[in-house]
A and B are shown apart, each in its own frame.
Chain A
């Protein structure tokens, strides 16, 4: 988890992206330790795989070197971060303890999912049955968000738009460069 700290320090964006991939892989292994195998699976394939490729693609299209800002004042952001962090840590004193089966989160709907899904849905992986059946609306919404994001990406940097606007945008582009 110290990888995150290294991500802050480095200016070479290529190394940052690579470290971010490592960070994702490490958090995936943390998820396995926390019994969330499905989540770990997703994090490993998404974070360490596809996200890294996308970021590298962006770097290839832009620049892979972060510039040193002229007037870099880390004091104010650091102060804001420390105050927020201290407030959050103070808040954790009221939070129920890690791993306690009596926590409120384990009292509401989760026992019903775990106890009844065997009869109602009949598949062993409770995560799948909650994902697709009990919380089908949520998942439909999430799929729609992914769908919308893809439409947005294609509108922004898709091929069709480029071909149409190529003639118009070319002179501007050269001026800026």
Chain B
């Protein structure tokens, strides 16, 4: 159920109220960070499912991953807040918890990406190609 602050008189249905809420300008501005995240995530998703090149798939996965980072970090942001380093002058800080989670996730992400790239190198040595279709074709030839 939409929990929007839109107090339209006598709403016809919940779904319709949700759609009406989008016409509210504040709501569009308030949600644009999620839409950036969705567009980026879909870019990465598209690369992963539509491209046969393994390196490009990994790049797509990384874009996907970065979009999730942006989602977390933008959730932790408070308008008017500052970076969570206690200085004594500022009073509003952004939420440090997503920062911690994403900070470690970035480093873990590069380590796992390196693992994936290592697998790509091995696949290239075994099959002589990094295109998915050709690998499948070769595996089927071997199976016959």
Q: Shortest Cβ distance from B140 into chain A, in angstroms?
A: 15
The contact size tier of chain A is 35 or more
Given contacts A24-B66, A130-B96, contact A81 B42 (CB under 8 A): yes
Chief secondary structure at chain A's binding surface:
helix
**Interchain CB contact under 8 A, B43 and A8:** yes
For A156, the closest partner residue in chain B by CB is B118
**Interchain CB contact under 8 A, A101 and B78:** yes
**Interchain CB contact under 8 A, A39 and B115:** no
| In the complex, chain A residues whose CB is within 8 Å of the CB of B95 | 105-106, 110
Count of inter-chain pairs, beta carbons less than 8 A: 278
Partner of A149 from the list B44, B97, B115, B121 (CB cut-off 8 Å) is B115
Q: Which of A61-119 contact B (CB under 8 A)?
A: 61-63, 66-67, 69-70, 74, 77-78, 80-82, 84-85, 88-90, 92-101, 103, 105-106, 109-110, 113-114, 117-118
Partner of B30 from the list A5, A82, A100, A169 (CB cut-off 8 Å) is A100
**Interchain CB contact under 8 A, B74 and A34:** yes
Q: Please tell me if B139 contacts chain A, counting CB pairs below 8 Å.
A: no
Q: Shortest Cβ distance from A54 into chain B, in angstroms?
A: 5
Partner of A36 from the list B2, B102, B111, B119 (CB cut-off 8 Å) is B102
Given contacts A13-B55, A51-B62, contact A113 B97 (CB under 8 A): yes
Residues in B lying within 8 Å of A, measured CB to CB:
1-4, 18, 21-22, 26-27, 29-36, 38-47, 49-53, 55-56, 58-60, 62-63, 66, 69-70, 73-87, 92-115, 117-122, 124-131, 133-134
